[in-house]
Amino acid sequence: MSGCVIRSIDAIDARFELPAGAGSDAVHTNPVYAMALTHLATDSETTGVGLALTLGSGNALVCEAIRMLAQPLAGKPIDEIMAQFGSVARGMANDPALRWLGPHKGVVHLALASITNACWDLWAKSRGVPLWKLLLDLDPEALVAALDLSYLEDVLTPAEAVAMLRNESATRAERETILRTGYPGYDTSVGWMAYDEAKVRALTLQAMDRGFKAFKLKVGSDKEERDLRRAAMLRELTGDAGILMFDANQRWNAPDAMRMCRALAAFRPLWIEEPTHPDDIHAHVELARAIAPVRIAAGEHVPNRVVFKNFLLYGGVHYVQADCTRLAGVSEFLAVSLLARKLGLPVVPHVGDMGQIHQHLVLFNHIALRHEAVFLEHIPHLRKHFVHPAEVSEGVYRTPQQPGASCDMRET
Amino acid sequence: MSGCVIRSIDAIDARFELPAGAGSDAVHTNPVYAMALTHLATDSETTGVGLALTLGSGNALVCEAIRMLAQPLAGKPIDEIMAQFGSVARGMANDPALRWLGPHKGVVHLALASITNACWDLWAKSRGVPLWKLLLDLDPEALVAALDLSYLEDVLTPAEAVAMLRNESATRAERETILRTGYPGYDTSVGWMAYDEAKVRALTLQAMDRGFKAFKLKVGSDKEERDLRRAAMLRELTGDAGILMFDANQRWNAPDAMRMCRALAAFRPLWIEEPTHPDDIHAHVELARAIAPVRIAAGEHVPNRVVFKNFLLYGGVHYVQADCTRLAGVSEFLAVSLLARKLGLPVVPHVGDMGQIHQHLVLFNHIALRHEAVFLEHIPHLRKHFVHPAEVSEGVYRTPQQPGASCDMRET
């Protein structure tokens, strides 16, 4: 067991240049992708690695917060930490000196995401299994003990969470076929904001050739007609069979969002994503009513399970884009997944991790929680930097087999 | 004008020891009060000083964010900056590399609070007037140009804000008497969580002797009967005339909050403050319905104007406890004050600044926006550290006369 004791914690500020225009959207015009990495060193060669995505200089703040927050983990066996990780995470989230900076949002919460993901990675590696298998092998009580469900009690108690997991276990076997078949990806990289129309066209055709059937387009241009023209082109290219999603990255105020969402609905997207400020539940509810049957997707900037609970109770979101690198890691992602299951909404993660961790979580959600594996965002930007990059072939995410949460990165 | 050009920006991490038990509440058990100070140096001896409160080690993160965020101000005259501060602040709030860490919440937003407050302080000093007078002297267009009202357009446009200010100006004179009379303070320092009952009793009697008529008690104890006992004692001490407020500092989950608020309502508080998680609008709405005529106060951890808009539209708060050291400074405080005025709710600030800046803002809100100056929280903890501490005598805040926003601190 000595190899599973955390000996020291380090935070690494890793930054990555992107090709021109890649990653650009309506509010992040020239992003530098950055990972705030948590490294949990042990007595053995095994290192737990966790990550959170940021977009540049602020990454240093998250790394510093990781160093402040993670110290209580040093000297403890990972099994002991994870046996009651709900309490451990709650203790870190409520650190009396740091809680004031949120609570449960912003820099400190991103740090908790990275730390939490490193703990899950180390736990899975210490057992020699991929994260999805670790999660599936835990009994319901053990899984729920690893989650902080505080402030959800009016909708979901720990006992209910255990009961939900137990109820679904009878029919697990029929859903385990997904481990062999994989599940679809959707391609976000065809439609970055800075790409001109010729490039969007060429990339979409390539993606269709490679087996993708669903595509995301960035909207929220300075000139509205540009959004409409690009949307029309994409619909024409993919035909009626193409599944389109439009992503405004919070650009519009509420009245502009109403006007633009109505105009874009003509191109029959599955969803419009982040149409306005991510804190504006009321505006999302109004939009959701106005543009049906087009749906609202949001979550990449919904900071925690409590805000998700509010979005769900008020009806401000249909596709729950939880992200374990924005929420407090794998644990809060699972808390939100339980909540969404209880309230009958699908979880389609946003991939701040480029899909590395979420490829595991979609499998767990599908098999253990009967969340349909609709599809998972695919962004291969940082592929070459991962030791075990997510494998997407013929438009399908393939089941990862290496131990851990697929967060190991090459030296950069 | 050269004396009003910002030459350099510095951030100072100032920390203050408190007497044993002071400042303690249900979730912050042993706080270290810390100020993230922004210093704007100019060619003259005038320095703009802004502050944001934190509770200890996280203060260093806010200081680092101040250094990252404020650089665009260097080399510019303060008059030029403030003539369009709404755009300037929006630019900082939407810094493409830092926005991702929120947006508009957490460490980066606290940094913007401190920077913004320093800009207002410098502007007032450069004109040789206290902040309240600067604000009252600005014409409505100039004032609104200093505010970022984006994402409020569905409820309040800049044109409406100008019209509101103009409408109220006809009756200003009758409200200017407050400059001579002052307005009441309420005493938060009688009922810190760690104080035993004898101490609460002695401090309350002293405060009554000093002219205070309103008192806050921390609740959310580990043992619920302790809350009820302390509340009963305070009601008995102050009699029916005493105005009591109970503050749970987010300690309870929604079901516990419902039970405890109902029990505490027996002691006839004016409000119960932060009964549960500050992001849980839905739970606040349920509580507000259940415990009327007792009211809900919240705002100290409502991160920005958009979340306030949602609290107000859904009916989750009655007393709007905006705090210019948590929101993006004086500007976002004023944006929330306009919003609350439009929607008919009183603003009673939480004083992360120990009342130093808010003493000015209550005067402005009362005179220019016809917000009743109900009373203002009084916490004299850090009094000795300010160059011009707020003057509260006979339980009444006295009008500050020194130029600026009263943020200058002594060397510590």
> What CATH number is associated with residue A22?
3.30.390.10
In a domain, B37, yes or no: yes
| CB-CB neighbors (< 8 A) of A154 in chain B | 253-255, 283, 286
What tokens does A3 get?
């190899």
Q: Would you state the structure tokens that stand for residue A348, as one six-digit string?
A: 């389609």
Angle made by CA atoms A378, A383, A384, in degrees to the nearest 5: 165
Report pLDDT for A149: 98
Task: Identify the pLDDT of residue A30.
Answer: 85
Distance CA A156, CA A268 (A): 35
Q: Are residues A226 and A324 in the same domain?
A: yes
Question: Alpha-carbon Rg of chain A, whole angstroms?
Answer: 20
Determine which of A363-367, B55-59, B130-134, B309-313 has the lowest per-residue pLDDT on average. Answer: B55-59
Same domain, A107 and A214: no
Distance to chain B for A31, nearest Cα, Å: 7
CATH number at residue B340: 3.20.20.120
Q: How many residues in chain B?
A: 412
Mutate to test the interface with A, among B277, B308, B314 (most CBs of A within 10 A): B277
* Amino acid present at B321: Q
Task: Report which secondary-structure segment, H or E, holds B228.
Answer: helix B224-238
Domain assignment present for B146: no
Does the structure show a pLDDT above 50 at A13?
Answer: yes
Q: In chain B, which residue's Cα lies nearest the Cα of A25?
A: B96
Indicate whether B406 belongs to any domain: no
Nearest CA in chain A to B93: A27
DSSP H helices in B239-350: 254-264, 281-291, 305-314, 329-342
Do A98 and B58 count as a contact with CB atoms less than 8 A apart?
yes
At which of A62, A95, A128 does a domain end? Answer: A128
Catalytically annotated residue among B218, B358, B360, B371: B218
Question: Does residue A134 form part of some domain?
Answer: no
pLDDT computed for residue B3 by the predictor:
61
Chain A residues touching residue B283 (CB < 8 angstroms) = 154
On whether both B113 and B226 belong to a single domain, the answer is: no
Which residues does chain B have within 8 Å of residue A151's beta carbon, measured at their own beta carbons?
A: 253-254, 276-277, 280
Using DSSP, state whether A188 is helix, strand or coil.
Answer: strand
For residue B155, tell me if it sits in a domain.
Answer: no
Q: Under a CB-based contact definition with an 8 Å cutoff, are residues A48 and A121 in contact?
A: yes
CB pairs under 8 A between A and B: 186
Residue A309 lies in a domain: yes
Positive or negative, the Cα torsion across B131, B136, B141, B142?
A: negative
Q: Which residues of B touch A107 (CB under 8 A)?
A: 61, 65, 101, 106-108
Pairing of the two strands B243-247 and B271-273: parallel
Query: Which residues from B are below 8 Å from A32, CB to CB?
Result: 97
**Residues near A36 by Cβ (< 8 Å), separated by ≥ 6?**
A11, A12, A13, A51, A52, A53, A54, A59, A62, A63, A66, A110, A111, A114
Residue B61 and residue A107: Cβ atoms within 8 Å?
yes
B2 pLDDT exceeds 60? no
B150 vs A253: CB contact, 8 Å cut-off? yes
Taking the C-alpha atoms of residue A357 and residue A386, their distance in angstroms, rounded to an integer, is 12
Tell me the β-bridge partners of A139. Answer: none
| Residue at a domain's end among A94, A128, A162 | A128
* pLDDT, tens digit, 9 for 90 and up, residues A192-250: 999 999 999 999 999 999 999 999 999 999 999 999 999 999 999 999 999 999 999 99
Strand, helix or coil for residue B77: strand
A58 to chain B nearest CA, in Å?
5
Residues A279 and A211 in one domain: yes
Active site residues of A: 218, 350
Going by pLDDT thresholds of 50, 70 and 90, the confidence category of residue B301 is very high
Same domain, A117 and A181: no
Nearest by CB to A57, which of B68, B110, B255? B68
User: CA of B69 to nearest chain A CA: how many angstroms apart?
Assistant: 10
Instruction: Return the exposure string of A159-191: e unless at least 16 CB atoms fall within 10 Å of the residue's CB, then b.
Output: ebbbebbeebeeeeeebeebbeebbbbbbbbbb
- Which residue among B154, B256, B303 places its CB closest to the CB of A255? B154
Gyration radius (Cα) of chain B, Å: 20
Q: Amino acid letter at A240?
A: D
For residue B41, what is the enclosing H or E element? strand B33-42
Residue A165 in domain: no
pLDDT of amino acid A127 = 97
Residues B52 and B180 reside in one and the same domain: no
For B211-248, the pLDDT digits (tens) are: 999 999 999 999 999 999 999 999 999 999 999 999 99
B162 in Cβ contact with B352 (< 8 Å): no
Residue B8 lies in a domain: yes
Tell me what the pLDDT averaged over chain B comes to: 97
Whether the pLDDT of residue A287 is over 90: the answer is: yes
- Partners of residue B62 in chain A, C-beta under 8 Å: 101
Tell me which residue in A31, A65, A304 faces B61 most closely, judged by beta carbons: A65
Sort out which chain A residues have CB atoms less than 8 A from B104's CB and list them.
277, 279
Both B8 and B70 in one domain: the answer is yes
Spatial distance between the Cα atoms of A329 and A325, rounded to a whole number of angstroms: 6
Q: Across the interface, do B107 and A106 touch by the CB < 8 Å criterion?
A: yes
Residues A96 and A222 reside in one and the same domain: no
**Residue B306: which residues within 8 A CB-CB, separation 6 or more?**
A277, A279, A280, B104, B151, B152
Residues 6+ apart with CB under 8 A from A173: none
What are the backbone angles phi and psi of residue B28, rounded to the nearest 5°? -110, 95
Cross-chain Cβ contact A96/B28 below 8 Å: yes
Of B54, B99, B101, nearest to A27 by CB-CB distance is B99
In contact, A26 and A230? CB cutoff 8 Å: no
State the average pLDDT over residues B281-286: 98
Closest chain A C-alpha to B101 CA, distance in angstroms = 5
Tell me, yes or no, whether A204 and A277 share the same domain: yes
- How far apart are alpha carbons A337 and A361 in whole angstroms? 10
Q: Which helix (H) or strand (E) holds A320?
A: strand A319-320
B63-105 pLDDT, tens digit each: 999 999 999 999 999 999 999 999 999 999 999 889 999 999 9
Q: Are residues B96 and B237 both part of a single domain?
A: no
Same domain, A197 and A294: yes
| CA B185 and chain centroid, separation | 14
Say how many domains are in chain A.
Answer: 2
Strand B392-393 and strand B214-218: the pairing is: unpaired
Contact A297, A319 (CB under 8 A): yes
- Please give the residue range of the domain that contains residue B33: 2-128
Give chain A positions within 8 Å (CB) of B98.
Answer: 56-58
Closest-CA residue of B relative to A155 is B254
Q: Are residues A249 and A379 in the same domain?
A: yes
Least CB–CB distance from A27: residue in B96, B107, B278: B96
Closest CA to A40 of A76, A85, A89: A76
- Band the pLDDT of A2: cuts 50, 70, 90: very low
Q: Do B281 and A310 touch (CB under 8 A)?
A: yes
Average pLDDT estimate for A118-136: 98
pLDDT at A29: 86
B322 has a pLDDT exceeding 90: yes
Instruction: Yes or no: say if B264 and B272 are a contact pair by the CB < 8 Å rule.
Output: yes
Backbone angles phi, psi at A320, to 5 degrees: -85, 105
Q: Where are the beta strands (DSSP E) in B97-207?
A: 183-191
Peptide bond into B275 cis (omega under 30): no
Q: What residue in A sits closest to B110 (Cα-Cα)?
A: A101
Q: For testing the chain A interface, which of B30, B253, B310 should be mutated: the one with the most A CBs within 10 Å?
A: B310
- As a whole number of angstroms, the distance between CA A349 and CA A322 comes to 5
Q: Which residue of A has its CA nearest to B111?
A: A101
Q: What span, in angstroms and rounded, lies between the C-alpha atoms of B260 and B81?
A: 48
Residue B283 DSSP class: H
Taking residues B126-142, report their average pLDDT: 98
Provide the strand spans (E) within B249-402: 271-273, 295-298, 319-320, 376-378, 392-393, 396-397
User: In angstroms, what separates the C-alpha of A289 from chain B's closest C-alpha?
Assistant: 16
